Amino acid sequence: MSNAGTPINIWCIVRENRSVFKITIGEANDLIDLRKVIKEEKPIYFAKVDPDELILWRVNVASSILRNKDTPIETYLNDKLEEPTDTVGDTFNNFGGSNIRVVVEVPEGWKSYTASDGHSVELPSQIIDMLESNKFVPDLRINFKTAFRNLHVGQSITLPHLGQGPKHFAKGYQGRTLLVTKQMIDIWDELSVDSDHSIKRVLSGPMGVGKSYISYFLASKAYAEEWPVLYIADASDLNVESSDKAGAVICKYFLALNKDILTASELKKIVQFASDRNPQQVLVTVGEEIIDLIKLADRNALLIVDEHGALFEEDPPVPKRLPILGPLMNLNYWGEHYKFARECMIFVGPIQSDVFDELLQLHSVLKEPSIKEEVKKVTNCVPREVMHLVKYVDSLEITITSVSSFRQALKIFENDRAGEILILAQQYYNVLQTNERIRYYESLTSMFLPSRPTVRFDWKFLDLGLIYRYKEKGITHYFPLCPSARKALLKMYMSFDLPENIKNQLNIGNLNGDQFEEVLFNRLVCKSNTTIQLNTTDLNNNNRSVVTLQFDDYAMIKSPALSLGPGSDRVLSHGFDRYPRFDFMLGPIFIQVSVSDFVTHNSKTSTNIGKAFERMSAQAGISQMQINGRNQIEMYLDEMYGPGHSAIIDSQNRFVVTRNGTRVPGFRIVYIRGSPGIPNHSRKVREFPDVAHVTFEEITGQKNEVMEKFE
């Protein structure tokens, strides 16, 4: 081979035996030529190696250092020469001197390895190195079998080591304790059934609700059952420069977890396309075969990639940039609008109340029975929030003296958290374009008014971890993650003006039902912590009176409850989607909202007020056992104030609502009409003489109370 360009001398060293030699090559020759010249210079040593198989590293180190076999040469091997078309002149500079400029490495061949079934198999040396390494090796399977035996909801497990762990794992006060939830068992039962097809699922939910613990549970359970498992605790480990590095991650994690169960035939399968003539491609090829093994195995196998959103933060996404990760595109959270993605999505939200009790039981302060319920209210059974609360409690060095004193501390914590969350929400909003701000407003409106069609939040907002999703009868709903998140988002919502088209429709008195509910909600929420007085009449425009609304907060009722529960009588509430008959509740006040006149609105079974006094039928996730022979109003009041309520319509068609025989003070049913006109229902008033009617004119006339923003 002839030299191209000015000849130069380059000192080289063989990595394996530290022998030094010199070559001469032209500056314009490429790295393919460089490998050929190196082999020609050492033909006997490199006799069994093709030139393109030689591994070259660029260095600039004194010969005396690298020739010393006590020198760890690996510390200098940071610059592998991989681009074959690069020229020698572009690759090296300052050619003079006697420093070593190239380290030459001979790729190792295949070796024999004894698999778990006692049979031998020939494997690439890189794979054998991983199999013989103690890095990422989990605890013995027997420890997992013992820990995961006879699983039941609420069970407390001290987790053995799986070789890897989720971010921040075991750093909280609960240490390595895992509390088994119903969702964990349900998912495992689904995955463990015999199936002719792969089962793909994505755990989706805000940060801090326990997705990583579910993943760790599933991986640990599969490991205990001796399934082949590929568990990657942090997907960012796969966000590397090249497919061969991603392949190395897949290989080392998979082999560490499974080397004690992989048979010789399985090992032979995953290396079947690896070539000893292309060592740099071995880890890519084996990594691809590992994924295929899990997809196509004739026994149950499991692939779990936690924190997988890290793979889709760049453009293009990592699985598109690195072909080896192509199968993970099917798990792409950001493709939720596709039918397949919706089917594979599992929403993770706050954990069950009884399981959360067990989590609180692990803390010396929060386990106190007198304060458990208060903690559950302020955290909404969200593990992340209880971690924040623990940090707050520990900083105060609280000594529990009474529920009331601790409740005051919780109030401060809740408000502080709301302030922190509000900053996050504002930062998100401030960078939105105009059309994105409109959608954000519509998404918040549909969340706060669950009867409206759902408007999805975009993924960047979901990624803030302020709301969670749940599915009911095939419909996805959004809900604030905790009271602090709800307060923060409400405060932000209060800063928004109504859309121009709704204000225009309001001015001409031609709102549709959704628009009027939005107007009323928007203005009522802006008037929390004040007293709103609405003039009312009966259904025939007689018997004038005043309804007073005083509330400090707003919240949504979540099925299967019919109320917000005890201590919420100064919180304006809205029913869930398909909540029967009423739209808003405030303590013992029940409010219907419609643009129709009362007779028209009351003609439907779902909105007929009389039905609220009849025994309730099972609906909206509410069972007959929960109903227990009661009507809707009785159930609501029992939840709010305790058992013993009775709600009937007497022989004079009057509402008689009592608790243990004593009248419930303040009970009212209010109808607010969202279109012009006075009530003129001379027959209906005899059927419902106690219904308080509020006209559209009364609402729009509240210039200084409710609607002044539009004047």
Cα separations (Å) of 125 from 65, 205, 273, 477? 28, 42, 15, 52
Closest CA to 103 of 30, 3, 21: 21
- 221-236 in b/e form (b: 16+ CB < 10 A) is bbbbbebbbbbbbbbe
Residue 106's pLDDT band, with cuts at 50, 70 and 90, is confident
425 — pLDDT class (breaks 50, 70, 90): very high
Sequence-ordered alpha helix ranges (H) in 307-402: 318-321, 339-344, 353-361, 369-379, 383-396
| For residues 285-308, average pLDDT | 88
**Can you state the angle between helices 353-361 and 383-396, rounded to 10 degrees?**
30
510-524: b (≥16 Cβ within 10 Å) or e: ebebbbbbbbbbbbb
Residue scoring higher pLDDT (203 or 236): 236
Per-residue DSSP letters for 693-709? EE-HHHHHT-TTTTSGG
* 3-class SS of residue 149: coil
* Per-residue model confidence (pLDDT) at position 206: 86
Q: For residue range 565-610, list pLDDT tens digits in order.
A: 999 999 999 999 889 999 999 999 999 999 999 999 999 988 999 9
Residue 333 pLDDT exceeds 60: no
Q: Which two tokens stand for residue 25?
A: 């090559």
Instruction: Quote the pLDDT of residue 95.
Output: 67
pLDDT at 471: 86
Is the pLDDT at 335 greater than 60, yes or no?
no
Please state, in angstroms and rounded to a whole number, the distance separating the CA atoms of residues 290 and 574.
Answer: 51
Indicate the residue type of 444. Answer: L
Tell me what percent of the chain is helix, strand and coil, each rounded to the nearest 5: 40, 20, 40
Q: Is the pLDDT of residue 153 over 50?
A: yes
Q: Model confidence over 488-540: pLDDT tens digits? A: 999 999 999 899 999 999 999 999 999 999 999 988 888 788 889 999 999 99
Which tops the pLDDT comparison, 144 or 171?
A: 144
**Crossing angle for the helix pair 403-430 and 483-494, nearest 10 degrees?**
50
pLDDT by residue (tens digit) across 473-490? 778 899 999 999 999 999
Q: What is the mean pLDDT of residues 189-217?
A: 83
pLDDT band at 708 (very low <50, low <70, confident <90, very high): very low
Distances (CA, A) of 70 to 17, 58, 65: 12, 20, 9
| 215, 497, 526 from 711: Cα distances, Å | 54, 13, 15
Region 666-680 average pLDDT: 96
Minimal CA–CA distance to 684: which of 653, 647, 656, 648?
Answer: 653
Q: CATH code for 7-105?
A: 3.10.20.90
Q: What is the DSSP string of 625-652?
A: HHHTT-BHHHHHHHHHH-S-EEEEE-TT
pLDDT band, residue 396 (cuts 50/70/90): confident
CA–CA separation, 345 and 343 (whole Å)? 6
Q: With bands split at pLDDT 50, 70 and 90, how would you rate the model's confidence at 227? A: very high
Spatial CB neighbours of 574, under 8 Å, sequence gap ≥ 6: 448, 449, 450, 451, 521, 554, 555, 556, 557, 583, 584, 585
The overall average pLDDT reported for the chain is 89
pLDDT band at 170 (very low <50, low <70, confident <90, very high): low
Cβ–Cβ < 8 Å for 220, 162: yes
Query: What pLDDT is stored for residue 703 in this prediction?
Result: 41
Rounded to the nearest 5°, which phi and psi values hold at 329?
A: -65, -30
pTM for this predicted structure = 0.77
pLDDT band per the 50, 70, 90 thresholds, residue 414: very high
Q: Does the structure show a pLDDT above 60 at 337?
A: no
In the chain, the amino acid numbered 295 is K
* Predicted pLDDT at 285: 92
Query: So what's the pLDDT on residue 709?
Result: 42
Length of the chain: 711
* pLDDT reading at 463 higher than 90: no
What percent of the chain clears pLDDT 70, i.e. is strictly above it?
93
Q: Which residues of 550-580 are buried (b: 16+ CB within 10 A; e: fewer)?
A: ebebbbbbebeebbbeeebbebbbbbbbebb
Instruction: Indicate the range of 63-72, 142-151, 395-404, 691-700 predicted with least confidence.
Output: 395-404
Query: For residue 549, what pLDDT band results from cuts at 50, 70 and 90?
Result: very high
Give the whole-angstrom CA distance, residue 410 versus residue 393: 9
Task: Please give the average per-residue pLDDT across 288-307, as a whole number.
Answer: 88
Q: What is the pLDDT of residue 578?
A: 86
Pairing of strands 100-105, 177-179: unpaired
Q: What is the DSSP string of 28-43?
A: T-BHHHHHHHHHHHST
Q: For 185-196, what is the mean pLDDT?
A: 84
Of the listed ranges 92-96, 420-424, 434-438, the one predicted with least confidence:
92-96
The distance between the two most distant Cα atoms of the chain, rounded to a whole number of Å, is: 114
What average pLDDT score do residues 16-41 get? 93
